[in-house]
Structures are given as C-alpha cells and as structure tokens.
Amino acid sequence: MEEKRTRIPVKLPSLAFMVCLIISAGTWMLVTFSKDYKVTYDYKLVCENLPEGRKSVTVSDTVLSLTFNQKGLRYLMKPYRDKEKVVAVSVNDLIKPKNKVSVYTFTSKEMCDFLSTHNFGSELVSVTSPEVITFYLR
C-alpha cells in the first residue's frame, strides 16, 4: 500500500510586509543609536606612580561612581564594557599642584577634572560618589 502524503501549504510573508519590517527595524536602530545617554558605572580605584620617598598610599574610598555622556554605539566601546572596571590614577600627577604633605583631599569636581584630563576624556561628566576622596601617603 502506498501512503498518501498531504502537504500543508506554507504561506510566505508578503514582500510588502518584509519591506515594512526592514524599514521599521532600521528606523528603530537610527533613533536608538542617535540619542544621548547618561550612564553611571562603578570603577575600582588603583593608585600607581607614587612620589619619590613614599612607600604606600591608602585611599578613603576605593570605588568611584563615574557618570558618562554617551551616544548610542559608544556603549559597546572600551572602557565601558569591561567586566572588571578599573581606573588607574597616577598619584604623582594628582598631587603635583598641591603642597607637599602626607594627606591630600580632593572634591568630586577636582577628581572629575583630573580623570577627564588623564584617563577618560570629554565623555566623563561627573564623579557621582564619593563627594570627597582622601589620599594618605606613607
């Protein structure tokens, strides 16, 4: 006996639907990737380049919350997609304009100015926390 196979007709989407779908996906991508976003990430603070005669540095807070102004595709760029976010600060460059003492205090504005000059550039908007960070040199 011969089996009869019945085929179920498969309807393909119409060409007009496919064109509309492609246009809407393209428009969505254009709008999404052209917006300005403010994103905040937590970075671990690592001190390097100690001044001469100093053995170690202790920091009042080792986690900085940094806010960035980004546009669309820049989210995918380094240093924003690193799983372990670390910001290395040259202590010698940071304390250079201040008097030579053992304790240095910086406001979030001063840290933002330093980090935008030495580490991140103009994308950095602000240091959200801590408000004040203190470096103790030994």
Q: What is the CATH number of the domain that holds 124?
A: 2.170.120
Number of domains in the chain: 1
Residue 43's domain comprises 37-137
The string of DSSP letters for the chain reads: -PPPPPPPPPPPPPHHHHHHHHHHHHHHHHHHHHSEEEEEEEEEEEEE-PPTT---EEES-SEEEEEEEEEGGGGGSTTTS-SS-EEEEEHHHHHTTS-S-SEEEEEHHHHHHHHHHHTS-TTEEEEEE-SEEEEEE-
On whether residue 8 sits in a domain, the answer given is: no
On whether residue 26 sits in a domain, the answer given is: no
State pLDDT tens for residues 73-129. 666 565 566 678 888 898 888 888 777 788 899 999 999 999 999 888 888 899 999
On whether residue 128 sits in a domain, the answer given is: yes
Looking at residue 2, what is its pLDDT? 62
